[in-house]
Structures are given as C-alpha cells and as structure tokens.
Amino acid sequence: MKNKFLFQLALILVLTVIVSYLIFLFGKKENVISFQVGAMFMILNTLVGHLVLEKNFHKENKKFFISYFSGMVFRLFFLSVIFFIVVKFFAVEVFTLIITMFFYYLVLTTLEIVNILKKTRKV
C-alpha cells in the first residue's frame, strides 16, 4: 500500500461513523452532532497536516521545520476559531465537543508522529 497513513485515516473515519451510530442508538441524540463535528474537524486538521508534511518533506531542514511548525500554529489557530464559532452559533453539547476534539487530537497526533518517524527512517 502506497500511503498507509491515508488508509489509517480512512479507517478512523469509518470507526467514527460506527461510533456516531452507536451514540445515536444508545446515547443522547444531542451528542451525535457534537461528536461528529469534533471528529470531522480533527480529521480534516490531520489531513491538512499530512498534506503539508508530504509537500515539504524533502526540503532542507530549516525550510521544512518552518513550514511544518507554522502550519501547526495555523491549524491550532484555525481549530480554536472553528471551536468558538461552533459553540457560539450552533446548538452543540460543549462538553461532548471538547472531549471528542481532545480524544481525536491525542489519537491523530500520535498517528501523525508515528508517520513522521516512519518517513524519516526510510530516508
């Protein structure tokens, strides 16, 4: 498989749909949208990070680190703005949204770091 990271991200997306359905069946209906919104933004955030990594990976170290870390700052700022917009203007369960975003941040950041480590070992 050429890009295992994208396959893993797709697998997480499928698991997200399954968990959303389980929340819909057995949990509060209000939590489904909060869960889906939080998961969607974190998956998109990770996908953008992966695209930046792929684009800049073979550049010299200084340019790579500048582009990658500035991208991380931009992504974090973007997530903060999106979070406040969603909380302010949409009826979502804030606690569920926070927990979902935190959980997905931990899992997807770990996946992203493992991907970077694997790429650096191949070079």
Using alpha carbons, select from 86, 60, 56, 91 the residue that is nearest to residue 71: 56
Domain count, the chain: 1
pLDDT of residue 81: 93
Instruction: Return the number of other C-beta atoms located less than 10 Å from residue 93's C-beta.
Output: 19
Percentage of the chain with pLDDT > 90? 41
| Structure confidence by residue, pLDDT tens digits, 66-84 | 888 888 899 899 999 999 9
Write the single-letter amino acid at 120.
T
pLDDT of residue 2: 56
Domain coverage including residue 68: 4-122
> What is the chain's mean pLDDT, rounded?
87
| Structure confidence by residue, pLDDT tens digits, 103-123 | 999 999 899 888 888 877 875
pTM for the structure as a whole: 0.85
DSSP code, position 59: S
pLDDT of residue 1: 42
Using alpha carbons, select from 42, 20, 16 the residue that is nearest to residue 110: 42
DSSP code, position 3: -
The C-alpha atoms of residue 115 and residue 5 are separated, in whole angstroms, by 7
| Structure confidence by residue, pLDDT tens digits, 9-63 | 899 999 999 999 998 888 888 889 999 999 999 999 999 888 888 888 888 888 8
